[in-house]
Structure 1
Amino acid sequence: MTAGHRMAVGKKIALIIIIVILAGAAGIGWYVRQMLEPMQPSEKPVRVVIPSGTGSLAIAQKLEEAGLIRNAAMFTYYLKYKGQGDKLQAGEYDLTPGMTLDSIVDILNKGLTVKEQGTKLTVPEGYTVKQIAEKVNQQFGTDITLFMQTAQQNKDFTAQSFSYIPSNAQLNNRLEGYLFPETYEWKKDIKVEDMLDQMMLELDKKLASLPDNWQESLKSRGQSFHQMMTIASLIEREVVLDEERPIVASVIYNRLQKSMPLQIDATIQYLLDKPKDRLFEKDLQIESPYNTYLHPGLPPGPIASPSLASIKAAIQPADSKYLFYVTKKDGSKGHIFAETYEQHQQNIAASKKNQ
């Protein structure tokens, strides 16, 4: 074998070794990513008990046994990478499969245990940040101004959903729509920023329970998460019956596609100090980017906290050609839908007869 031949063989062997190393590295990278993915979502919480003095590896093993993480060893490496392993607190926790690793770590770091929660706060569906602030004041004695300022200014929230909120000076309340309506139990001395973070972490949990392709639905429409949440909030404030939510969603999308003003009364009510039973022409002339009578397209952001049902409807609207709807006046809280303005006028007249 000549020297040149030996050199060529050596280069081939070196190339093969490099390929094998790269393939191995890619395989390891794929495996690590898989092990750090959330578990299959479930709405049923799992109780995890962490005794005092339990190390991070033992905690990780408990989480794996409970079906909350995929791999205990990988979780401990992740903790070291994040510099979080020595901050996990003992106690009893209710955690939900499908939560991200960051959400689990955040709850364990803050010690948001079942036993220490105690005081309940129920956030109704369709509440605004201001209404939530007033309810927190009643339940916890928290200053309303402090609550509103923290919601508007704090930047240290850990919830994934917080990262979707755009920087937009037109937003009336930055966290509007992102504080998920649910019943919470917290310690009486919980910090305002932790309250807000937990409500957004709850939104993260609910999003984790959606079908895997929900984000693809947004991409196919060229829609941002924030726009979807805005539409979900409009549905929440307009609809009472769950079966009508996807239909009203289709009306909103149909009008947007045709560049028609949405003309949604709930956006006007959002601008008023107190809601009215009946809106007048002067109310429809209030100058605000949230006024969907004066300005085409969506308002700058959500007008309330939507339920999971409204979020699902915003992601998967019904397939319809409806452009109008009017509330029935028969006490059913339902709506009559129409494809044309003429049909809409007939529906309005029919509805009035049932008053």
Structure 2
Amino acid sequence: MANEPSWEDIFQPKEAVAPQQQPPAVSQPPAATTPVTAQAPGSDPLNSLFAGTTPTDSQGPASSLGTQAAPAAVQTAPSSRRALRETEGRRRGGGGSDDGGSGRGRRGDNSGNYGRPPRKRRLLWLWITLPIVLIVGGLGGVAAYGWANYEEQIRELMGWQLPNDYTTAGNGVEVIVPVRSGDIGADVAKTLHEAGVTMTFDAVYDYLVENPDVSFIPGNWRLQEEMSAESAVSALQDPANKVTSELLLTEGSVLPDALEIIAETTGIPLEEVQAAAADPTAYGVPAEAPSLEGYLFPATYELSGSESAQEILQLLVNTMFEHLDAFGVAPEQRHEVLTKASIIQREAGWNIDDFYKVARVFQNRIDQGINLESDATVAYGTGNLHTVWTTDAERADASNPYNTYANPGLPIGPIGLPGDDAISAALNPADGPWLFFVPINLATGETVFSETVDQHEAAAQQLRDWCQASEENAAYCG
């Protein structure tokens, strides 16, 4: 979005920051390995003691923008270890810094403690009250209350950390996970965590750092929810888990990746698939479309294995047209709607409500004659298909037909494959006065919408702070 921080800005902090560890790179595909067995890392020492209790955040959510805060989401009690850890991550500001520089605002006072009691006083209180709580609460009720309301302080005092990894090879719920050509360890770690396969990004990333010879084969893979990092990575090495009868294209994928997934899934040579996609008009796509980008509907398709590349591409295009027809989009409007929807898909994160608010930002800018200033479109035009980070020089290059900073209106075509939610948002923007938006937590997709440049700059600084708060956060900011 307009005036988002550049990659150079984010990693030029005022004080020196230790260089982050490079993610493990992908090497050539390995030979088939033996089936996965789960490894059981250490468990939470309080798992049995406080089973059945639910921690609460007694401090409550703090505003991300001070007096211009976005509406806070309704919080519910975490129901799983993964939810509990993510709740702790949000409470700590997304990644490990206790100095208030994590990208999430905290209520503050003049002491610099951001609304928290001084550490020594808090620990002294715990030393005095914790034994009393545990002794007097013979039936466990008082102890459970103390745990539910002061878990963070108790863990800090006792040195007990939440586990960051599951201990099983899955819970039986199947998940299809895509691996793109060129994905490195950090990419796979994010994919597995976001799909609900692994508990955290760190668990997989750390495992790959310790096992640098691991490599990945592009394609779709059948895994399960709640797998340990070791079992998930091992499953991605086992050819038996590679899906060959189901073609999965995910929302927000770009055309080159989609063609590779088609080739990997079907066994059709990539060159043949690319050649089949060279003439988009052969599939009924408008002549103004520079490619099939945006016209393949992202979904799971059951294939017989006998289809040609042309037949598969026609199936995907026809499915997109069917969905556009269901939304009431006339054939002459298809290109404009898909272009808008693809930008919304890439820019909006995971909160479906944000899709409609992002659509409103872009529509307000179009209506007021303001350039869209989407970093996602600029990056696409430079060939950086898997990032929304851009440089000053890239944003100034008017020769890029996808550059919505230097050129007015929409880019010349879609920048990815939009799904139904993005299409619906493009057709039905939310009501609102916003002209800017910026995500302030790339792991959760939390986004701030603003009316003024000053509000937007404050939110952009939150993103810079979040990116610098931890290695895990930095992996999302590349």
TM-score where L is the length of structure 2: 0.43
1:260 is matched with: 370
Paired residue total: 221
1:203 is matched with: 320
Q: Pick the aligned partner of 1:338 from 429, 434, 450.
A: 450
Q: 1:156 to 1:332 in 2, by over 3 A?
A: closer
Structure 2: runs of 5 or more not aligned: 1-243, 470-478
Q: In the TM superposition, what is the alpha-carbon distance from 1:353 to its structure 2 partner?
A: 4.6
Question: Retained in 2: the 8 A contact 1:129–1:148?
Answer: no
2:287 is matched with: 167
Write out aligned runs for 1:19-38 (5 A).
Answer: none
Identity of aligned residues (%): 29
Cα-to-partner distance string for 1:50-102 (whole Å, 9 max, x where unaligned)? xxxxxxxxxxxxxxxxxxxxxxxxxxxxxxxxxxxxxxxxxxxxxxxxxxxxx
2:431 is matched with: 319
Question: Retained in 2: the 8 A contact 1:177–1:303?
Answer: yes
Matched, 1:233 2:233: no
Q: 1:166 to 1:209 in 2, by over 3 A?
A: closer
Distance 2:333 2:442 in 1: 37
Question: Retained in 2: the 8 A contact 1:329–1:352?
Answer: no
Q: AA paired with 1:270?
A: Y
SS in 1 for 2:392: coil
Question: Retained in 1: the 8 A contact 2:373–2:404?
Answer: yes
Q: Pick the aligned partner of 2:408 from 296, 302, 308.
A: 296
Structure with greater helix percent: 1
1:136 is matched with: 262
Matched, 1:281 2:407: no
Q: Pick the aligned partner of 2:310 from 190, 193, 206.
A: 193
1:328 is matched with: 440
Q: CA RMSD in A?
A: 2.4
Distance 2:251 2:437 in 1: 22
Cα-to-partner distance string for 1:228-282 (whole Å, 9 max, x where unaligned)? 1100000001112111000000001111111211111111221344434742223
Question: Retained in 2: the 8 A contact 1:123–1:182?
Answer: yes
Q: In the TM superposition, what is the alpha-carbon distance from 1:193 to its structure 2 partner?
A: 1.3
Write out aligned runs for 1:57-136 (5 A).
Answer: 119-136=245-262
Distance 1:201 1:250 in 2: 28
Q: AA paired with 2:390?
A: L
SS in 2 for 1:152: coil
Question: Retained in 2: the 8 A contact 1:252–1:262?
Answer: yes
Cα-to-partner distance string for 1:258-307 (whole Å, 9 max, x where unaligned)? 12111111112213444347422233244311111121100111111101
Q: In the TM superposition, what is the alpha-carbon distance from 1:339 to its structure 2 partner?
A: 1.1
SS in 2 for 1:256: helix
Q: In the TM superposition, what is the alpha-carbon distance from 1:155 to its structure 2 partner?
A: 4.7
Q: AA paired with 2:248?
A: T
Distance 2:250 2:298 in 1: 5
Question: Retained in 2: the 8 A contact 1:228–1:315?
Answer: yes
Q: Pick the aligned partner of 1:178 from 266, 286, 295.
A: 295
SS in 1 for 2:247: strand
Q: 1:350 to 1:129 in 2, by over 3 A?
A: closer
Cα-to-partner distance string for 1:141-177 (whole Å, 9 max, x where unaligned)? 22333323322326553xxxx3xx4323xx442x211
Cα-to-partner distance string for 1:182-215 (whole Å, 9 max, x where unaligned)? 01121223111111111122223333544xxx44
Distance 1:148 1:325 in 2: 36
Q: Pick the aligned partner of 1:145 from 271, 289, 302.
A: 271
2:167 is matched with: none
Distance 1:198 1:185 in 2: 11
Distance 2:320 2:401 in 1: 26
Distance 2:301 2:271 in 1: 21
SS in 1 for 2:277: helix
Q: Which protein has greater RCO, CA pairs closer than 8 Å, 6+ apart?
A: 2
Distance 1:207 1:166 in 2: 14
